[in-house]
Amino acid sequence: MMLQGKVGVVTGAGAGLGLATAIAMAREGAAVVVTGRDPAAGGAVVAEIQEQGGRAVFETVDVIDEEAIQRMVARALSEFGSLDVAYNNAGIESPACPVQDLDMAAVKAAYDINLFSILECMKYEIPAMLEGGGGAIVNATSVWGLNAGAERATYISAKHAISGLTKSAALELAKKNIRVNAVAPGPILTPMLLRDWQGDVEKAAGGVPMGRVGEANEVAEAVVWLCSDRASYITGHVLPIDGGMMCKVG
């Protein structure tokens, strides 16, 4: 098992990529603090992990609440004794809008969730990992954090910032036995994709060279691997999981 004996936290774990990753971490031997805003959804994830013989607890966390993030880390330490791996996943889409028409209050609210929450998670995860002798952090960005598109400035700028944050933190922590990487998914079959594309999965896959959208477990497996000792010489990397989208020019 890749994460045997480790303790992990996953934000936004009630659905989609967070859910798949929490289950994958537990399957690979980690004890997991499952977090999210919906106790019913989070409790269902914990129940599924426990039914499979894993260890997990749920902590209610709204990632724009700094005190909730502190409680998340404290719960890992009090419940399981350490914090070794983290997947900072929670995020939202932003509606298409030309830059000149942006509502700045909406932009700031999106940044709070998509960018500042990851920074705050790292702020509290890192000391716990240092105390335990090291760890691994994976942040959620997007293929839009490696590229650009019209009328998506709010979302794209936040995702680009996560890539920079990941690389900067990786350099800071490289000699302290903490690795920091990010995953950059393309279109993945999640409730968010179905909502954004009005259920048209074929259309969502239109720009993917492999001709299909990804599955949530395909991202989860990559996150688990990056968190594991099998990726021990990898830090500061932003890994596209996109069916080849970033291979294309133009």
pLDDT digits (tens, 9 = 90+) for 42-100: 999 999 999 999 999 999 999 999 999 999 999 999 999 999 999 999 898 888 999 99
Render the burial of 214-245: b for 16+ CB within 10 Å, e for the rest: bebbbbbbbbbbbbbeebeeebbbbbbbbbeb
pLDDT band at 250 (very low <50, low <70, confident <90, very high): low
- 91 lies in some domain: yes
- The answer to whether residue 186 sits within a structural domain is yes
Q: For 118-174, write each residue's pLDDT tens digit.
A: 999 999 999 999 999 999 999 999 999 999 989 999 999 999 999 999 999 999 999
Residue 197 has pLDDT above 80, yes or no: no
Bridge partners of 239?
Answer: 183
In the predicted structure, residue 226 carries a pLDDT above the cut 60: yes
Q: Is 155 a catalytic residue?
A: yes
Q: pLDDT grade, residue 220 (50/70/90)?
A: very high
* 11 close to 87: Cβ distance less than 8 angstroms: yes
* Residue 2 counted as domain residue: no
* 100 assigned to some structural domain: yes
Question: In the prediction, which pLDDT does 204 show?
Answer: 83
pTM for this one? Answer: 0.96
Is residue 240 one of the residues assigned to a domain? yes
> Would the pLDDT of 183 be above 70?
yes
| DSSP reduced 3-state for 204 | helix
Catalytic-labelled residue, pool 87, 111, 124, 155: 155
How many domains is the chain built from? Answer: 1
State residue 200's pLDDT score: 82
State the pairing for strand pair 188-189/55-60.
unpaired
Inside any domain, residue 1 = no
Inside any domain, residue 67? yes
Per residue, the 3-state secondary structure of 107-124, as one string, reads HHHHHHHHHHHHHHHHHH
Residues sharing a CB contact under 8 Å with residue 49, sequence separation 6 or more, in sequence order: 22, 23, 26, 32, 34, 55, 56
Domain that holds residue 113: 7-247
CATH of residue 18's domain is: 3.40.50.720
